[in-house]
Amino acid sequence: SPDTSDSIPFLAEDACPDPCGELAPWKILIVDDDPHVHAVTELILRHISFRNRTLQIYNAESAAAARDLLQREPDFAFALIDVVMETADAGLELVHHIREERKDRAIRLVLRTGQPGYAPEQDVVLAYEIDDYKSKTELTAQKLFTSVVACLRAYELITEINALNAELEARVAMRTAELQKLAMLDPLTGAGNRRHLEERAAAEIADCQRTGRELGVIMFDIDHFKHINDTWGHAAGDLVLQKVVQTAAAQLRATDFLARIGGEEFVILVPGDGLAGAVHIAERIRAALAGCPVCAQAASIPVTSSFGVTVVTETSLDGALVRADEALYQAKHGGRNQVAA
């Protein structure tokens, strides 16, 4: 890049043209109670060119007017602020307002005052991220240029970092939601796990209490699954578990919920249709499973399941699980591959 040390530094920024063409203008705010200062400053700043951006200059003749302007026009890149305006430290109060009340962290701030040798306390400079401060006699056109261009560079970096941070936060939030969802699923079958069942049941029970509808509960258990494992191997057993979930899930409505609560034991929540509706769905799943042998080890493995059905009558799922388990025991004793309620 060309040496600009003894020329006007800001012009070098033109060497970096914007590839997209259309860039939103950056807003610059000049706050001073002396209109003459506005006129002169605008004359100087009008010649700044930064990364092909249009710089829009706004003037405010008091700290109060600056606050109104910031309210109406957010996202200023830079503000040049006089110290003594309506009060002796109106400028510093405006800085406080911008940083503490508005939380405009990106906007760069330069203080300029008629007081010779002006220097705010260093902790104030740091706390409010004041980029520069000069007395008006010190702040020549050249120094003003340099200060403004440095501020615009900082503003560009900070807005870029803020955008990256926002993107990162959004991605972390997305990933966290994905992980939370995964933590609720049984990894082998993709059905809900017991924790998910408990959470879902609590929500469904509350919903049913509100609407006066009934929550049906189906518990089912694969028949002679130990025999399937023993005959065809554990891998075939795993495949059977996956297929059983697929086949059962295909019989469910979007509002029903299937969870694996043990090795080859499952629970389904069926909101809305009472005991008869739940029995009907259980019978449909039983028939679908019985009619769907699983292909594994070059064999067609017949798979049946037994079902116990009940409805929730308390404010928790526990009682219903006990009753569904009792009904399931009856179905096993009745000869398996059947529904009991």
The contact mask relative to Mg ion for 253-292 (x = CB under 5 A, - = no) is -----------xx---------------------------
Task: Output 46 or 226, the one with its CB closest to ligand GH3.
Answer: 226
Maximum Cα interatomic distance, the chain, rounded to a whole number of Å: 101
Segment interacting with Mg ion, rule: CB under 5 A, options 9-17, 77-85, 139-147, 237-245: 77-85
Which whole-number Å values give the CA distances from 101 to 28, 141, 166, in the listed order? 20, 32, 21
Which residues, listed in sequence order, are joined to residue 158 by a DSSP beta bridge?
none
Q: Cβ distance 133 to 111 under 8 Å?
A: yes
Number of residues that bind ligand GH3 (CB under 6 A): 17
Per the annotation, the verdict on 264 as an active-site residue is yes
What's the min distance (Å) between Cβ of 219 and Mg ion? Answer: 10
Quick one: which of 61, 131, 204, 221 contacts Mg ion (CB under 5 A)?
A: 221
Which whole-number Å values give the CA distances from 133 to 50, 108, 110, 113, 258, in the listed order? 22, 12, 6, 8, 66
Q: Which of ligand GH3, Mg ion, none lies near 237, with the C-beta cut-off 5 to 8 A by kind?
A: ligand GH3
Q: Which of ligand GH3, Mg ion, none lies near 33, with the C-beta cut-off 5 to 8 A by kind?
A: Mg ion
Per DSSP, which regions of 45-129 are E strands? 55-60, 76-82, 108-113
- Sign of CA pseudo-dihedral 313, 315, 319, 323: positive
Q: Cβ distance 131 to 109 under 8 Å?
A: yes
Quick one: which of 13, 33, 42, 129 contacts Mg ion (CB under 5 A)?
A: 33
Number of residues that bind Mg ion (CB under 5 A): 9
What's the min distance (Å) between Cβ of 307 and ligand GH3? Answer: 12
Q: Which of Mg ion, ligand GH3, none lies near 238, with the C-beta cut-off 5 to 8 A by kind?
A: ligand GH3
* Half-sphere exposure in the Cβ direction for 199 (13 Å, CA): 10
Single out the catalytic residue among 93, 178, 264, 283: 264
Which whole-number Å values give the CA distances from 278 to 203, 214, 216, 339, in the listed order? 18, 10, 5, 10
* Half-sphere exposure in the Cβ direction for 43 (13 Å, CA): 8
Query: Rule CB under 6 A: which of 210-269 touch ligand GH3?
Result: 221-227, 229, 234, 237-238, 241, 263-264
Task: Output 49 or 229, the one with its CB closest to ligand GH3.
Answer: 229
Q: Which two tokens stand for residue 27?
A: 């807003």
When asked if residue 61 is in the footprint of Mg ion (CB under 5 A), the reply is no
Q: Which residues bind ligand GH3 (CB under 6 A)?
A: 188, 221-227, 229, 234, 237-238, 241, 263-264, 332, 336
Q: What are the residue numbers of the active site?
A: 264
Q: Which residues bind Mg ion (CB under 5 A)?
A: 33, 82, 84-85, 221-222, 225, 264-265
